[in-house]
Structures are given as structure tokens and as C-alpha cells.
């Protein structure tokens, strides 16, 4: 299954993330954020090879929210905060627990080098998490 | 999708979506555009986003979009909505993440030909002295107390700091005199402050820039003279905002307001439009935080102006007699403000959201400084990279039609992804160089995203607001050097 696809947006960035379940959807949305910034290769194989040699740092993320959509915004926002605080980009995401109002995850990052742009914020614009025949989807718009 | 058939033509440059177009609209939605710019606007989601803003509780008259309208999130970029106080709403997403993103114009006493041999050195000095790009940190690190002072005093802090960062006359030529009333550092989260602490005096990345221009054409000699502008004069523009601090303030309050809309039983077509009555505790707290972030942006542009003055001195001292620059004006284009406007022969207090739109108060406005009151507020409209920018003044018609607002720039027509596919940054830099424009940029893909072909023609946008009477053209600027992150 494709992890995400970019959706054309005139001024900002938008993507549709996919997952066989909600946990995978949240992980793939996080992957999309850093892939769009250029910090993660979209080539999964090359990415996996690079990881073997990468000096990854593990960090714990725990966020709460009022519903799944807010939780998705808060999860992605928290990752951007970690990025800015530690000057890292994140390639791997392991969600340990996920409920409609809380998420706990381990994320693995490497030092941020050569990014052209970082995302300013994750918006709620037209945000909806929907179940499809193949799993789950969410469309996210980010301000750049 | 909204089509031209859904719009009524109200006047030569005004199109309207009637209130009965959708059951949830609380007012009609108006768009200022020529036929051609209307076609551009109908290409993406922007007119639908405009209609969404017409559902905000307390909206007065109509939702408005300027001719540089393009797709945003929540509000379209180029959107203006006023809500009637005390119970009209304020929407953090309606102001956006880059609170008080804006433009400052500094003017020299020099003719372009005097600095022609030194433009490259000046561009290099500006790039070196004005921190820019992803993760850039400023030259003015702040402790907690100093940051709180910046948040509550705005550009005035830079005067009070007595380190030569600012002059009193800079404040006179700044919207709100560089200090938003009602700002409270206590309404800004610890995380937002953490993000802002090292970012004062930084340009950032994206579409933010410093540009050295010359005045290529003067349309209104009398007003240009009053502002201190003359043909072939060297001027400098700064375009940037409140950096990570503002982004975080917006993020925090859009999140908080998700609950507030439930509490106040406000139904909206888009969760990014979440809002609360301005007189509610939530509305008041956001306003104080937004005003503080706006003050950070005023101070940020002020520190960048200081770096520009240093750069001019570094390159031109001993070469030209007078390398000083004075401020023409500093305007905000992402802000919500409490203002009084005449509506149906009554003076009404409203909360005016301008998202990618500029305040353009006309002659006689009591909030303008004494020396500008009879000519109206200066309005600064930057074009896309390598193209013209414009200086306008506000008009009486803007006061009656658009809550004293006009456009803010050219407006995008092409996605960043497509621009990067179609344009190579290095090639663009060389093309600009062949036209005599010096470019100093940290990122070539970033440069490609801002290619002129990704934007509307700013001359056409400005022609609409001038012809519609909601702005009056004073001068056109053409670039000599562009500095980007």
C-alpha cells in the first residue's frame, strides 16, 4: 500500500495518507511530513539501506486530544516541535498505543541537514479521517 | 465547485456569491477581480473557502476577497471578514499561522545610479547580516524578561533597548505605531516563547525576502513627495512575520478553540475556521496572545531594518555622502483588529480579520499619524520575485466598501511542487542576473518555488484595486537585488 500521495495545493502543501489501520495511518502521515520536507527519501528500499548506517536517536512522543482528527494534528505538530528543538528529521515511527484521545509512540530521528524548508504548522483545514474499503485515509493540509 | 454562473456581477470589478447560494451563509461573499483574475480564482478551492468565511457568526455586510485571492486553509489568502462586536467572533485560523506577516519599506536619499557598482556587495552584506533560511537564529538572543517586553512593547522595545535598533520616527511610520494594544505575554505559551527566543531579527524561509529596489515610476507625484519617494530612488523592502513564535500561538489557539466552538454551539463547514465570541474568555485570551505575536513581528522587522542600516553603512560609508534610510511604512497582512467603521450610517465596532490582505485606511482616519492623515495610509504591495512592487495609499472608498482593506501581493497561481518541477533555481537565478537583478539565496529549490511564473501578474492585481477605488497607486518599484533564505 502506498504510504501517502501529494495533493496539489496552490500555496501550501497537502497530502493524503493511507494505512491498513489507524496506527499505520498515523505513522504514514508522519512519514509524509518529513518526506515532503525532503528529509526522508521516498524510495523505501534506499531509505531502509540508509537507515542501517544512520545514527538514529529514539524519542518518545505522547499526545492527547479530543478526537482522532485532533490527535492527528497534535501528533504531527509534536513531531515538528521535536524537529525544531533537536534539529532532527524523523524516518521511523512506532506507535505503541492509540485511542481516540491519546497516542504514545517512539520515533527515530537523524540530524537535520540540507532541508530547503520546514513546515510551519499542521492545519485542520478539511481534515477528516475516513475508513475505506482498503483501510483508512486522511487528507492533511500543512502551512509552509 | 463554484463556477462563474454562481456569481453576480455587482460592479466592474466586484463579483458576489449571494447569501442564498448555501444555507449556512450568514452574508454574501464578494470578490474584487477583473474577468481574467476571476478565472484564476475559480481554478482552485479559494472561492469555496471565501464562501465558508461567510458562515462566521456576527459577520457584517459580506465576506470579501481581494484580487490576489488564492487557496489557503480556512480563509482564502486575500480574505477579509469583519464581525460585529461585542459578540461577533474572532478566528485564530482566520488570522493564520504567520501572525502579522507584513512588509516594511525603507527609503534612502540615493539614486540607483549611485549604488549601481555596489549592488552585489550590498546584496552580499545583507545576506550575511540578516539571518535567513531554515533554522536560522537571530543576533539578538533574549532572556525571558526581554522576550516578554518584546511581546508587550513591539517595535517600541527596539527603541527602549537603546542599542541603536530603532528610531522614534520608525514607529511613527508603522501600523499601530509598532505596538498592538492589548498584548499580554501571559497569553503566549511556554513553547511559543521557546520558539521565539532565538528568532528575533531573522527572515526565515519560504516567500519571505529582503529586496533592494529602485523607484521605477511615480504615478502620483504629490503623494510620493509627501511620503518621501522620488523617481530612481533606492529603497529596501522587508517581508517577514512572527516566525515560530507566531506559528505556535496560532497552533495553540486553533487547538484550544476546537472545544470552544462546542461550548458556544457554533457550527462551521471547516474546523480550521474555529472561533469564539471576541468578548468570551477564549476570544479575549487569543486576542491578547495574537497581539503579542504581532508585536514580536513588528520588533522582528525592526531588528532586520537595523541590520539593513548596518549593511548600507558597511558597504557605502566613505563612498556616498548619505547612506541613511528612513521608514516609509510598515504594514501587517495577517491580523485581526478591533476597529470602528461606518455601517448603514452608524459607527460600529467590529473585529476585522485580514488574511493576506492589507489595512488601507483612507484620508481623514484618526488612527493615522498627523503627517499622513490628509493623504491616507501608505500601502505596500510586494510583487513576486524579480517583478515590480507597488506603493499605494488607502482611500475613502476602501473605508466604505472593504473595512479599509486592500490586496497584499501578487497571489500564487501555481503549486510549489509544480513550480519546482518546471523551474530550476540556478537557471532562474541566472535569468534574473541577466536582467541585472542580483540574487542571494540559501536554497535553489526554495528559489524555484517562488519563481515569478508561480504568481499572478502583480500589475493586474494592483490595477484592479486602483480601478475599483480601494487603493490608489503612488509608485512602482523594480528590483535591483533579492535576498532570500
Residue-level pLDDT at B139 = 80
Nearest chain A residue to B443, by CA? A116
Report how far apart, in Å, the C-alpha atoms of B22 and of each of B77, B207, B269 are: 21, 34, 11
Higher pLDDT, B463 or A44: B463
Helix (H, G, I), strand (E, B) or coil at B151: helix
Closest CA to B72 of A139, A123, A118: A123
Report the half-sphere exposure of B320 (CA within 13 A, side-chain side): 21
B247: contact with A, CB 8 A cutoff: yes
Nearest chain B residue to A36, by CA? B417
Residue B384: exposure state from Cβ atoms within 10 A (0-12, 13-18, ≥19): buried
The DSSP symbol for B279 reads: T
A139: contact with B, CB 8 A cutoff: no
- Chains A–B, number of C-beta pairs less than 8 Å apart: 104
Residue-level pLDDT at B206 = 82
What is the extent of the structural domain holding B225? Answer: 4-413+455-484
Percent of chain A with pLDDT over 90: 75
Beta bridge partners of B446: none
A122: contact with B, CB 8 A cutoff: yes
Asked whether the predicted pLDDT for residue A115 surpasses 80, the reply is: no
- Chain A nearest-CA distance from B45, in A, is 9
Nearest chain A residue to B269, by CA? A126
Place of cell 457554533: B266
CA B229 to the chain's CA centroid: 21
- All structural domains of chain A with their residue ranges: 4-143
Closest CA to B453 of B417, B483, B480, B413: B413
Chain B residues touching residue A112 (CB < 8 angstroms): 134-135
Chain A residues touching residue B244 (CB < 8 angstroms): 84, 120
Which residues of B are tagged catalytic? Answer: 408
What residue spans of B321-424 are helical by DSSP H?
396-401, 416-422
Mean pLDDT of A33-47: 68
Nearest chain B residue to A64, by CA? B255
Q: Has residue B41 been placed in a domain?
A: yes
| Interatomic CA distance for residues A135 and B213, integer angstroms | 54
B206 to A70: CB separation less than 8 angstroms, yes or no = no
Inter-residue contact B235 to B164 (CB < 8 Å): no
Q: Has residue B23 been placed in a domain?
A: yes
Other C-beta atoms closer than 10 Å to the C-beta of B164 total 11
Nearest chain A residue to B199, by CA? A84
Among B415, B420, B450, pick the best mutation site for testing chain A contact (most A Cβ within 10 A). B415
B134: contact with A, CB 8 A cutoff: yes
A144 to B96: CB separation less than 8 angstroms, yes or no = no
B251 to A13: CB separation less than 8 angstroms, yes or no = no
B255 to A120: CB separation less than 8 angstroms, yes or no = no
Beta bridge partners of A136: A19, A131
Closest CA to B432 of B455, B446, B452: B452
A101: contact with B, CB 8 A cutoff: no
Closest CA to B120 of B311, B387, B321, B390: B311
Place of cell 495577517: B334
Beta bridge partners of B29: B17, B63
Q: Which residues contact A88 (CB under 8 A, 6 or more apart)?
A: A57, A82, A109, A110, A111, A112
B446 to A116: CB separation less than 8 angstroms, yes or no = yes
B96: contact with A, CB 8 A cutoff: yes
Q: Which backbone phi and psi does B5 adopt, to 5 degrees?
A: -65, -25
Nearest by CB to residue A120, choosing from B44, B97, B443, is: B97
Q: Has residue B105 been placed in a domain?
A: yes
Q: Does domain A4-143 have CATH number 3.55.10.10?
A: yes
B73 to A77: CB separation less than 8 angstroms, yes or no = no
Helix (H, G, I), strand (E, B) or coil at B10: strand
Q: Can you read off the three cell numbers belonging to residue B76? A: 482564502
Higher pLDDT, B278 or A55: B278
B410: contact with A, CB 8 A cutoff: no
The H-or-E segment that residue A15 falls in is: strand A13-19
Residue B201, Ramachandran bin (φ over 0: left; ψ between -120 and 50: alpha; else beta): left
A30: contact with B, CB 8 A cutoff: no
Closest CA to B28 of B44, B40, B15: B15
B418 to A8: CB separation less than 8 angstroms, yes or no = yes
Inter-residue contact B480 to B119 (CB < 8 Å): yes
Q: Has residue B436 been placed in a domain?
A: no
| Interatomic CA distance for residues B101 and B435, integer angstroms | 29
Helix (H, G, I), strand (E, B) or coil at B474: strand
Place of cell 545514527: A55
Closest CA to B46 of B352, B290, B356, B337: B356
Chain B residues touching residue A123 (CB < 8 angstroms): 73-74, 93, 97, 254, 272
- The number of distinct structural domains making up chain B is 1
B274: contact with A, CB 8 A cutoff: yes
| Interatomic CA distance for residues A46 and A55, integer angstroms | 16
Q: Which backbone phi and psi does A41 adopt, to 5 degrees?
A: -65, 140
CATH at residue B17: 3.90.1860.10
Residue-level pLDDT at A51 = 57
Among A11, A39, A127, pick the best mutation site for testing chain B contact (most B Cβ within 10 A). A11
Of chain B residues 191-220, which have a CB less than 8 A from chain A?
Answer: 191, 194-195, 205-206
Closest CA to B173 of B102, B106, B100, B241: B106
* pLDDT tens, per residue, chain B with 485 residues: 899 999 999 999 999 999 999 999 999 999 999 999 999 999 999 999 999 999 999 999 999 999 999 999 999 999 999 999 998 999 999 999 999 999 999 999 999 999 999 999 999 999 999 998 877 788 888 999 999 999 999 999 999 998 889 999 999 999 999 999 999 999 999 999 999 999 999 998 888 999 999 999 999 999 999 999 999 999 999 999 999 999 999 999 999 999 999 999 999 999 999 999 999 999 999 999 999 999 999 999 999 999 999 999 999 999 999 999 999 999 999 999 999 999 999 999 999 999 999 999 999 999 999 999 999 999 999 999 999 999 999 999 999 999 999 999 998 889 888 888 899 999 999 999 999 999 999 888 888 988 999 999 999 999 999 999 999 999 999 999 999 98
Chain B residues touching residue A85 (CB < 8 angstroms): 194
Q: Has residue B385 been placed in a domain?
A: yes
Q: Has residue B439 been placed in a domain?
A: no
| Interatomic CA distance for residues B37 and A14, integer angstroms | 24
- Chain B nearest-CA distance from A118, in A, is 7
Q: Which backbone phi and psi does A114 adopt, to 5 degrees?
A: 65, 30
Chain A residues touching residue B71 (CB < 8 angstroms): 9-12
Report how far apart, in Å, the C-alpha atoms of B446 and of each of B227, B428, B438, B455 are: 34, 11, 16, 15
Inter-residue contact B127 to B182 (CB < 8 Å): no
Amino acid at each position: 500500500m502506498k504510504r501517502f500521495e501529494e495533493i496539489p495545493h496552490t500555496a501550501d502543501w497537502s497530502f493524503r495518507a493511507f494505512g491498513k489501520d489507524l496506527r499505520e495511518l498515523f505513522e504514514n502521515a508522519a512519514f509524509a511530513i518529513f518526506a515532503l520536507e525532503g528529509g526522508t527519501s521516498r524510495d523505501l528500499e534506499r531509505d531502509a539501506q540508509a537507515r542501517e548506517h544512520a545514527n538514529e536517536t529514539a524519542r518518545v512522543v505522547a499526545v492527547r486530544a479530543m478526537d482522532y482528527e485532533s490527535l492527528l494534528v497534535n501528533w504531527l505538530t509534536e513531531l515538528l516541535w521535536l524537529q525544531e528543538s533537536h534539529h532532527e528529521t524523523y524516518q521511523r515511527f512506532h506507535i505503541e498505543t492509540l485511542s481516540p484521545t491519546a497516542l504514545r509512540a517512539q520515533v527515530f530521528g537523524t540530524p537535520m541537514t540540507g532541508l530547503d524548508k520546514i513546515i510551519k504548522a499542521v492545519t485542520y483545514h478539511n481534515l477528516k479521517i475516513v475508513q475505506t474499503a482498503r483501510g483508512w485515509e486522511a487528507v492533511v493540509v500543512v502551512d509552509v | 465547485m463554484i463556477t462563474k454562473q454562481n456569481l453576480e456581477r455587482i460592479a466592474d470589478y466586484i463579483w458576489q456569491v449571494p447569501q442564498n447560494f448555501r444555507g449556512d451563509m450568514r452574508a454574501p461573499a464578494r470578490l474584487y477581480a477583473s474577468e481574467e483574475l476571476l478565472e484564476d480564482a475559480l481554478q482552485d478551492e479559494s472561492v469555496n473557502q471565501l464562501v465558508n468565511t461567510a458562515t462566521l457568526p456576527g459577520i457584517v455586510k459580506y465576506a470579501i476577497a481581494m484580487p490576489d485571492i488564492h487557496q489557503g486553509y480556512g480563509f482564502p489568502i486575500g480574505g477579509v471578514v469583519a464581525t460585529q462586536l461585542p459578540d461577533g467572533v474572532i478566528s485564530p485560523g482566520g488570522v493564520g499561522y504567520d501572525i502579522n506577516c507584513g512588509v516594511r519599506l525603507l527609503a534612502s536619499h540615493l539614486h540607483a545610479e549611485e549604488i549601481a557598482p555596489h549592488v552585489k556587495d550590498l546584496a552580499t552584506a545583507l545576506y550575511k547580516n540578516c539571518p535567513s533560511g531554515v533554522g536560522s537564529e537571530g543576533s539578538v538572543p533574549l532572556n525571558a524578561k526581554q522576550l516578554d517586553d518584546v511581546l508587550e512593547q513591539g517595535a517600541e522595545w527596539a527603541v527602549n533597548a537603546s542599542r541603536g535598533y530603532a528610531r522614534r520616527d520608525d514607529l511613527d511610520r508603522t501600523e499601530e505605531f509598532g505596538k498592538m494594544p492589548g498584548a499580554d505575554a501571559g497569553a503566549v505559551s511556554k513553547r511559543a516563547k521557546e520558539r521565539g527566543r532565538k528568532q528575533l531579527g531573522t527572515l526565515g524561509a519560504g516567500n519571505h525576502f529582503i529586496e533592494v529596489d529602485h523607484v521605477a515610476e511615480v504615478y502620483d507625484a504629490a503623494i510620493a513627495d509627501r511620503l518621501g519617494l522620488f523617481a530612481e530612488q533606492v529603497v529596501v523592502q522587508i517581508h517577514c512575520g512572527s516566525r515560530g513564535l507566531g506559528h505556535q500561538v496560532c497552533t495553540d489557539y486553533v487547538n484550544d478553540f476546537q472545544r470552544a466552538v462546542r461550548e458556544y454551539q457554533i457550527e462551521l463547514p471547516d474546523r480550521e475556521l474555529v472561533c469564539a465570541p471576541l468578548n468570551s474568555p477564549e476570544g479575549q485570551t487569543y486576542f491578547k496572545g495574537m497581539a503579542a505575536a504581532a508585536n514580536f513581528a513588528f520588533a522582528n522587522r525592526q531588528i532586520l531594518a537595523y541590520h539593513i542600516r548596518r549593511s548600507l553603512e558597511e558597504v557605502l560609508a566613505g563612498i556616498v555622502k548619505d547612506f541613511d534610510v528612513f521608514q516609509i511604512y510598515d504594514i501587517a497582512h495577517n491580523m485581526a483588529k478591533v476597529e470602528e467603521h461606518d455601517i448603514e450610517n452608524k459607527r460600529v465596532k467590529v473585529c476585522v480579520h485580514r488574511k493576506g490582505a492589507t489595512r488601507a485606511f483612507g484620508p481623514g482616519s484618526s488612527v493615522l499619524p498627523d503627517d499622513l492623515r490628509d493623504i491616507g495610509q501608505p500601502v505596500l504591495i510586494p510583487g513576486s520575485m524579480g517583478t515590480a512592487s507597488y506603493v499605494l495609499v488607502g482611500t475613502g472608498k476602501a473605508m466604505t466598501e472593504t473595512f479599509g482593506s486592500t490586496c497584499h501581493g501578487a497571489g500564487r497561481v501555481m503549486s510549489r511542487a509544480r513550480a519546482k518541477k518546471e523551474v530550476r533555481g540556478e537557471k532562474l537565478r541566472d535569468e534574473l542576473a541577466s536582467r541585472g537583478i542580483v540574487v542571494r539565496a540559501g536554497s535553489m529549490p526554495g528559489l524555484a518555488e517562488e519563481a515569478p511564473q508561480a504568481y499572478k501578474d502583480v500589475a493586474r492585481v494592483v490595477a484592479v484595486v486602483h480601478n475599483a477605488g480601494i487603493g490608489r497607486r503612488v509608485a512602482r518599484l523594480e528590483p535591483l537585488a533579492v535576498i532570500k533564505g
